[in-house]
Structure 1
Amino acid sequence: MAHPTRRSAPALPPAGGSAAPSGGATPSAPASTPPAKGTVKVTATVATGLSAPWGLVQLPDDSLLVAARDTGRISRIDPKTHTVTQIGLVPGVTHTKGGENGLLGLAVSPDYGSDHLVYAYFSTESDNRIASFLYDPSRPKGEQLGAPDTILRGIPTGSLHNGGRIAFGPDGDLYAGTGETGQRSLAQNMSSLGGKILRMTPDGEVPTDNPTPGSLVYSPGHRNVQGLAWDDQGRLWASEFGQDTWDELNRIEPGKNYGWPTVEGIAHHPGFVDPVEQWHPADASPSGVAYAVGCIWMASLKGGRLWRVPLAGAKASAAPQAFLDGKYGRLRTVVALDDHTLLLTTSNTDDRGTAHSGDDRVLQLSVS
């Protein structure tokens, strides 16, 4: 783990407003239980022609940043003109052809208005790591992303099961979902950062109230976490790739164990927490999640569906409902802009999908 001294950010023109939630948005939600059935309408195509997009975040000026997994490129999307402009490359990114490693999740600093920092989770030849980058829009195009300030090294890496989602929680700390890279034992090894949900300060330090003193581990027993989101009560939800039997949506509690590799799906096994919902991998293979209108919204890759899970407290209040069933192919990242508006990325250029004209794209949805 590396904890370099935080550099001072130079004064920049304000981006406008306060920092938006990153990857796991927390918009206001109705106090009552949402209806069992909802609606989804695609209202706009925000961007096209993207290459294996992974992380997607909104900046305070309403522009978007998107990560290209295979190339390490971060680009800015203008939602009004739909133009996509490269702002920089993350150095040292490694991607294996046909694999899941590369430039993965993005997050925006809670103090973006003053520090102008963007965070990225990415794979190198030796590990997965998290770094912050100063984003300076006044610099020349393609050179607007500063040098990486690595806040965490040593997350296990491999061609598969790299996790990769990062998001700032309501507490201001940074959370990261990691994978066990196919080495199952790592998920239960508390000395490893693999197969966990991690919680850290914006500088990569261990918060004093983490479940285990001195440890970044927030919860162990995960196979491959690619989605993190908080509901309106501050409860953390995470999606998880299962192996061959069950994919999961979990309600994450600090210090609780989620069972992998001993269990997969709802098992009622002493000492492990069961998922709130489970799916066969052909119907899901979940990646990003977001919270809006009292529901968890989960993007699925193999399933090609956007799943709506209405909540009643820490439980589902009705059966999951599927939308977009295969219409746009593989779905990777979902971001809540407000309580009725989502952004959704496709993932058909990731070596596992069938790319069509215009892929990959960012869609805007109206939901209820």
Structure 2
Amino acid sequence: MRRFIGIVVAVLMVGTVSGCGGDSDSEARVVMSAAPSTPSGVPDLAAGQDIARDIDVPWGLAFLPDGGVLVAERDTSRILRVVPGRAPEQVYEVPGVVARGEGGLLGLAVAADYAETGYIYAYFTASDDNRIVRFRLDGQPEVVFDGIAKAGVHNGGRIAFGPDGMLYVGTGDAGQGTRSQDPANPNGKILRLTPDGAAAPGNPTHGSPVYSLGHRNVQGLAWDRSGRLFAAEFGQDNFDEINLIEPGRNYGWPIVEGKGGTDRGFTDPQVMWKPAEASPSGIAISGDTLYVAALRGERLWTVPLQNGTLGTPQSRLPDLGRLRTVAVSSDGALWLTTSNTDGRGDVRAGDDRIIRFPAR
């Protein structure tokens, strides 16, 4: 079990890195291998097909090597295996999940070495905290990281293996913004862990899992073909954000929301929306496009991406309601989950749905 425990030296070192918008500290840079090449073709957003219907608050989604897709139901603790043309099948139930408010069974990730280990990772809200476990579909879960504060809101929850083989974790401030600026606290951060749950080698501060700080509620993580990490962040009253994440950077919350913090050592977002237009959760990148699933905005945003810079967003798919998760499979198809049964949406026939948009 890996509980977040800071040591004084580590706290001081992270504090030094976070107070500077630049990256002059060479230890703050992590060498990342290039992201896997994107399949040819782009998703055809006019050709969506319902893969599954009547799913209970789908949240995490992860692809298996055999083409199956795992989907986490937030409020039931169930993990379903979804295959086009077949009825969804329950393959696991995560014990100890406490689903209240925005908490429950959240992000899923398939181990980079799944073929050898068979490990699946899940981020969920337990009785005392948010935590990450790993398990085989025929075995018991093992806690690899815990001690992330929970609340009715801002639990974060997105997890993903990066192109460097490390596990990246988006956490929320659990309703207390001061946590985001505390380098000894795992909340309001992007964490970078080894598959065993330890602080990954090469992190900005040796022995600390913190990769970046100053976040309000991160629910989207995606890498471009050059290995650059982007993250989606819920704003409060003014601006939602898409940030280009660099190690050791401080993204400003709760001192700054949106742009305007660079003179104080914070890093500005690349894209912003009013919360009514977005409330971005999952994100994905295919080729030169970033896809953003919007909850309150009830649409899919597509954002052009060139050399690490994001352009002007375009609104797509306005008729599906709240969108929680978007992901790109190895064949270039775009997978999307609605979130109309989460207590905040208008439920439509068949909700919640899992939709696949094939590559052209």
* TM-score over 0.5 for the pair: yes
Where 1:186 maps in the other structure, the secondary structure is helix
Counterpart of 2:2 in structure 1 is 2
**Displacement of 1:366:** 4.1
Matched, 1:184 2:177: yes
Contact residue 225 and residue 287 of structure 2 kept, 8 A: no
Give yes or no for contact 2:325–2:337 (8 Å, CA) kept in 1.
Answer: yes
Q: Distance in 1 between matches of 2:331 and 2:286?
A: 5
Q: Which runs of 5+ in 2 are unaligned?
A: 4-33
Equivalent of 2:91 in 75, 87, 90: 87
Is 271-280 or 85-94 further displaced after alignment? 85-94
What is the CA distance between 1:39 and its match in structure 2?
A: 6.5
What secondary structure sits across from 2:357 in the alignment?
strand
Do structure 1's residue 353 and structure 2's residue 345 form an aligned pair?
Answer: yes
In 1, Cα distance between equivalents of 2:37 and 2:298: 27
Contact 1:197 1:220 in 2 (8 A): yes
For residues 102 and 339 of structure 1, the distance between their equivalents in structure 2, rounded to whole angstroms, comes to 30
Structure 1 contact 120–131 (Cα < 8 Å) conserved: yes
Return the offset for 1:338.
Answer: 4.0
Secondary structure at the residue paired with 2:197? Answer: coil
Deviation per residue, 1:27-70 (Å, 9 max, x gap) = 52499xx99xx962233111111000000111011111110101
Contact 1:93 1:122 (8 Å CA) reproduced: yes
Partner of 1:40, secondary structure, is coil
Higher mean C-alpha displacement, 86-95 vs 238-247: 86-95
How far has the Cα of 1:367 moved from its partner?
Answer: 6.2
* Aligned residue number for residue 134 of structure 2: 132
4+ residue runs over 6 A deviation: none
CA distance in 1 between partners of 2:224 and 2:299 (Å) = 21
User: 2 CA distance for matches of 1:364 and 1:267?
Assistant: 38
Q: Are 1:278 and 2:280 matched, yes or no? A: no
Trace 1:114-153 onto structure 2 (pairs within 5 A).
114-136=116-138, 146-153=139-146
RMSD: 2.0
| Structure 1, unaligned runs of 5 or more | 4-24, 137-145
What do residues 198-236 of structure 1 show as CA deviations (whole Å, max 9, x unaligned)? 000000011221001110000000000000000000000
Q: What fraction of aligned residue pairs are identical, expressed as a percent? A: 52
**Paired position in structure 2 for 1:28:** 37
Is residue 54 from structure 1 mapped to residue 63 from structure 2 by the alignment? no
Q: TM-score, normalised by structure 2?
A: 0.88
Given the alignment, which residue of 287, 296, 299 partners 1:293?
Answer: 287
Counterpart in 2 of 1:249?
A: 242
The structure with more helix, counted as a fraction of residues: 2
Aligned residues of 2:2 and 2:198 also touching (Cα < 8 A)? no
Conserved? CA contact 1:42–1:363, under 8 Å: no
* Alignment map for 1:104-115 (pairs within 5 Å): 104-115=106-117
* Paired position in structure 2 for 1:344: 336
Does the CA-based 8 Å contact 2:106-2:157 persist in structure 1?
yes
Cα distance in 1, alignment partners of residues 115 and 102 from structure 2: 33
CA distance in 1, matches of 2:334, 2:114: 22
How far apart in 2 are the matches of 1:163 and 1:207? 20
